[in-house]
Structure 1
Amino acid sequence: MPTSSGANIERPMKPVYTLAEALAKDPSRVAKTQSLTRDSSRPHMGLKGSHGLFASEAWWESIEAKRLQTQTLTGSIERTYFAGQDSRRGDQVNSFTLRLADGSTVDESIYTNHKQDTRLFVPGAMVTMVYVLDELKAQPAVDCGIHYARTVLEVAISVRKDQE
């Protein structure tokens, strides 16, 4: 329910990243990932491919049919920062801390298909990230469960009128 401060007024969400668009710009990523899946000489590296090769028609269909599990995280950006050892210019950021509804936080990289959308990642903005969980060849996980690769499928972020 909106408050007098307007802090809880819902803002429209803008899709800023889709894996499909990113892969269309970088077909070598698909080729390399699929090659590693097919490489039997590397039994502990790459995706298992049980539901189709990465980014293949069968893989996308497996996501749509829910044979591949997805995970959605939604929260508010608590802070933005630069992570890593690469050089950067000025106040450039590439990561953020997301506060989830349960009070926990996760640190995540900024994903955008268009560089100018990075400016939308500011404290207070709401973010929804959708991941696909794809089983890895190397099993089991440390906790004896299934070991998954967690790949970002989509990212949407709230926008203020002055950011549109």
Structure 2
Amino acid sequence: MKPVYTLAEALAQDPGRIAKTQALTLDSARPHMGLKGRHGLFASDAWWESIKAGRIRTQTLTGIIERIYFAGQDSRRGGQVNSVTLRLADGSTVDEGIYAHRKQDIKLFVPGAMVTMVYALDELKAQPAADGSVNVARIVLEGYCVLPSHQPSAQN
């Protein structure tokens, strides 16, 4: 299964994102904004190693697309979509954004397609979360989308 999105590729296309994220982590004048940086600055070698070693937890979410839609207040063109509702194995649903590097890959996100998203759960400066747990940013590391297999019709 080939990813349609990787954080590594996204950062290569937008290196300024790394500098801005790291600057916010290091900004002591903003004690409640940004990542905590306890396991390395965002996208640094130490950060990637912390993910591999499990110091920064990851979450994998897999589901079948039930619905595609446009979320947000920005203007859009035609049938443009940027979000999906996924049905998970336990029967619950979640809404997720569409992540893809190539515009043509967005067409893979159709009802019935299987989506897998891998997130890094990096601690935020602002603690705790509303429910008392550790407050984390869900950073998309990888995204995959596989079209549903279509059975040949009996008429063929």
1:154 aligns to what SS in structure 2? strand
Equivalent residue number for residue 92 of structure 2: 104
Q: In structure 2, what residue type is equivalent to 1:123? A: P
Is the Cα contact below 8 Å between 2:121 and 2:136 reproduced in 1? yes
Q: State the alpha-carbon separation in 1 of the partners of residues 120 and 22 from structure 2.
A: 16
Equivalent residue number for residue 3 of structure 1: none
1:36 paired with 2:24, answer yes
Equivalent residue number for residue 133 of structure 1: 121
Q: Percent identity?
A: 75
Q: State the alpha-carbon separation in 2 of the partners of residues 83 and 67 from structure 1.
A: 33
1:17 paired with 2:36, answer no
Report the TM-score, using the length of structure 2 for normalisation. 0.93
Equivalent residue number for residue 62 of structure 2: 74
Q: In structure 2, what residue type is equivalent to 1:64? A: K
1:148 paired with 2:122, answer no
Q: In structure 2, what residue type is equivalent to 1:90? A: G
Q: State the alpha-carbon separation in 2 of the partners of residues 138 and 161 from structure 1.
A: 44
1:161 positional shift: 7.7
Structure 1: which 5+ runs fail to align?
Answer: 1-12
Q: State the alpha-carbon separation in 1 of the partners of residues 131 and 81 from structure 2.
A: 33
Equivalent residue number for residue 89 of structure 1: 77
1:37 aligns to what SS in structure 2? helix
Equivalent residue number for residue 47 of structure 1: 35
Q: State the alpha-carbon separation in 1 of the partners of residues 147 and 79 from structure 2.
A: 20
Query: Within 5 Å, which residues of 2 pair with 1:1-12?
Result: none
Report the TM-score, using the length of structure 1 for normalisation. 0.88
Q: State the alpha-carbon separation in 2 of the partners of residues 160 and 107 from structure 1.
A: 19
Matched positions, count: 150
Deviations 1:7-55 (A, max 9, x none): xxxxxx3310000000110111111000000001111111000000000
Structure 2: which 5+ runs fail to align?
Answer: 151-156
Indicate the RMSD between aligned Cα atoms, in angstroms: 1.3
Is the Cα contact below 8 Å between 1:14 and 1:159 reproduced in 2? no
1:83 aligns to what SS in structure 2? coil
Q: State the alpha-carbon separation in 2 of the partners of residues 134 and 160 from structure 1.
A: 32
Q: State the alpha-carbon separation in 1 of the partners of residues 75 and 130 from structure 2.
A: 34
